[in-house]
Amino acid sequence: MDVLSLLSFTVTLLAFLSPCLTTPTPRVSFPLGVPGRRLTHFVRRDVSNTTTLLLSDDEETLYVGARDAVLALDVGRKDAMALRGQLDWSPSEKDREQCSMKGKKMTDCPNFIRVLQFLNTTHIYACGTFAFSPHCTYINSETLTMSSKLDEGRGRCPYDPYQRNTAIIVDGELYTGTVADYRGNRPVISRHLSKGQHVDLKLDDTLGWLEDPTFISTSFIADEEKIYFFFSEVGREYDFVDKFIVSRVSQICTSDVGGQRTLQRRWTTFAKAQLLCQAENELPYNVIQDIDTLPPAEGAPLDDTLFYGIFTSQWSVNSGRSAVCSFRQADIKSVFNGNYKVLDRDTLRWSTRVREKVANPGECGLHNASDNALRFVKDNFLADKTVRPAGRRLTLVSAEHRYSHLTVQRVRDYTVLFLLTGTPRGHKDKSPAV
């Protein structure tokens, strides 16, 4: 049985009106089922592992990716969620037997839906692990029927249902962060379903582009035509600690078509930077768990967009705690526009040695750049500066809760954070008014 609702739920109201506010703690906190707090939930005994959600533009329908199924829930009504339709999509008996023969547990061999994105106004693109042999398909969002056409899902969806991935469709093209092999040790950020002049692109195998990442989410930055990927990975630039985890934001440009000789069919616009959620003189909350975007207030510049993230710590002194930090788009931009670290390929050490700048890493429109410029961006992808939280402080620290998911909304002069502990997701639009 699975419950598409909340285990324990905390609503946090942050009044940004008082600038002297030091790190606040959650104001209102309540578990599921408290009288007077209406939280709708939806239970079906035959549906489980509901991990992927997609809300329609009109906010009437919530599509849920589950184990061997995609559900459409009617969420337009205030009092209850109703099932509008269900599409069953599972591997055959034979597929599952093969999966099990390869040494996988039978319970991990179903089709766990891990990508669910609108492709256009009539169709959803969905991918699932499909018995450790990922596949993708097109689903009519109205009738919830699947096209007979199956795409191979390599690079679009993980093989292993326990590995995290992220995906976004922009202008009908699919951008993903996932591992692209059966063993789960070839992480890649790539573009699929490329249209027109575009070709499918992926990361080069260059040392250090990704270091054992855990992908969290993606965001389309419309004004810059860039896509941000949020993830954590091993921070090799810190060679004083073994396996120090860092949180990252990385970027690519949607206009990228790869290089002509150097970086052919590879990103020419990949760059990454560290996101640091840390209070002065304390250990950082270094492991990003979730992130959500708060668009700027009406009339404010897009640079004021904030990314709110939940962070936990890899050290036991902070176990069970979590922090929320927000990052300004303007700060992320300025870090990407700055200098880049250099990796010495012999010693495998990073330095901030400033070389003559042959190109601007992370800049869009490098497809016609010289080989020399492309070799430079290929080697200079780790921004030298770190992105610090807005206002240089943590938004919130919770000593009792280890949050896993958040949603942020602007309600008049307030910023409201909905924080969730536990695993089930699916409350975005059904949260009580504060």
Binding to ligand NAG by residue 162, rule CB under 6 A?
A: yes
Residue 108: CB minimum distance to ligand NAG, A: 6
Strand partners, 52: 65
What is the torsion angle, in degrees rounded to the nearest 10, for the CA atoms of residue 341, residue 344, residue 348 and residue 349?
-50
Among 63, 89, 138, 175, binds ligand NAG (CB under 6 A): 138
| Four-residue CA torsion sign, 235, 241, 242, 245 | negative
In the complex, least distance from residue 355 CB atom to ligand NAG, rounded to whole angstroms: 26
Whole-angstrom Cα distance, residue 145 to residue 404?
32
Cβ distance 203 to 258 under 8 Å?
A: no
DSSP secondary structure letters along 355-424: ---SS-TT-S--TT--HHHHHHHHH--BBSSPBPPGGGS-SEEESS----EEEEEEETTEEEEEEEESS-
Is 240 a binding residue for ligand NAG by CB under 6 A? The answer is no
Shortest distance (Å) from residue 162 CB to ligand NAG: 6
Q: In whole angstroms, what is the distance from residue 366 CA to residue 107 CA?
A: 46
Q: Measured from the CB atom, is 78 or 183 closer to ligand NAG?
A: 183
Reduced to 3 states (helix: H, G, I; strand: E, B; else coil), residue 184 is coil
145 counts as binding ligand NAG under rule CB under 6 A? no
Stretch that binds ligand NAG, among 69-77, 121-129, 387-395, 413-421 (CB under 6 A): 121-129
CB of 28 to ligand NAG, least distance (A): 29
Beta-carbon contacts of residue 23 (< 8 Å; ≥ 6 apart): 279, 393, 394, 395, 396, 397
Residue 285: strand, helix, or coil: strand
Using the minimum distance from each CB to ligand NAG, give the nearer residue, 112 or 340: 112
Interface with ligand NAG (CB under 6 A), residue from 48, 56, 90, 386: 48
Q: Which residue is nearest to ligand NAG (CB)?
A: 161
Least Cα distance to 164 among 306, 250, 288 occurs for 288
Site for ligand NAG (CB under 6 A): which residue of 367, 385, 393, 401? 367
Does 132 bind ligand NAG (CB under 6 A)? Our answer is no
Q: Is residue 56 near ligand NAG by the rule CB under 6 A?
A: no
Nearer to ligand NAG by C-beta: 216 or 275? Answer: 216
Which of 3, 13, 119, 144 forms a contact with ligand NAG (CB under 6 A)?
119
347 is a site residue for ligand NAG (CB under 6 A): no
**C-beta of 21: minimal distance to ligand NAG in Å?**
38
| Number of chain residues interacting with ligand NAG (CB under 6 A) | 14
Q: Which segment (7-15, 97-105, 114-122, 313-321) binds ligand NAG by CB under 6 A?
A: 114-122
For residue 365 the two structure tokens come to 């429109």
Task: HSE, CB side, 13 Å, CA atoms: give it for residue 247.
Answer: 27
- Measured in whole angstroms, the distance separating CA 102 from the mean position of its chain's CA atoms is 30
Mode of pairing for the β-strands spanning 173-179 and 166-170 = antiparallel
Stretch that binds ligand NAG, among 19-27, 117-125, 348-356, 372-380 (CB under 6 A): 117-125
What are the residues binding ligand NAG (CB under 6 A)?
48-49, 108, 112, 119-123, 138, 161-162, 367-368
